[in-house]
């Protein structure tokens, strides 16, 4: 009798159905078109779907709006001093990354790659 396969979820490997070992860095926007990630369970290749990649990019852009507003307020509160500008820049980077991670995770779908 064959082994029952685990139920496939949106975060499961498209080849074996097991958790592939996703890292948070995979959800950040990348212009690498030939990227192939390896599943920890079956060593098969997979990647995020194009829709997931586009959603991640759009989420990053949506995260920029509030973070740029905060940038101006932080710099104004610090009277333009260097530590406040650096902290405000970190807020903008964090806003982009968090928006990107959130929308990429919501729209997650993995596709097999050769």
pLDDT of residue 1: 56
CA dihedral angle for residue 71, residue 108, residue 32, residue 68, rounded to 10 degrees: -10
Q: What is the pLDDT of residues 31-79, one digit of tens each?
A: 888 899 999 989 999 999 999 999 999 999 999 999 999 999 999 999 9
Scan for tokens 């709006």, then name that residue: 65
Q: What is the pLDDT of residues 81-105, one digit of tens each?
A: 999 999 999 999 999 999 999 999 9
Is residue 3 over pLDDT 70? no
Q: Please report, for the chain, the start and end positions of each structural domain, with discontinuous segments joined by +.
A: 24-113
């Amino acid at each position: 009798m064959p082994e029952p396969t685990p139920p496939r979820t949106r975060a499961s490997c498209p080849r074996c159905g097991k958790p592939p070992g996703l890292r948070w860095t995979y959800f950040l926007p990348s212009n690498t078109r030939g990227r192939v990630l390896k599943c920890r369970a079956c060593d098969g290749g997979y990647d995020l779907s194009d829709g997931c990649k586009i959603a991640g990019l759009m989420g990053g852009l949506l995260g920029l709006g509030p973070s740029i507003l905060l940038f101006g307020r932080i710099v104004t509160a610090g009277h333009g001093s260097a530590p406040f500008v650096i902290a405000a820049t970190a807020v903008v980077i964090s806003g982009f990354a968090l928006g990107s991670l959130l929308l990429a995770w919501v729209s997650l779908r993995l596709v097999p790659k050769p």
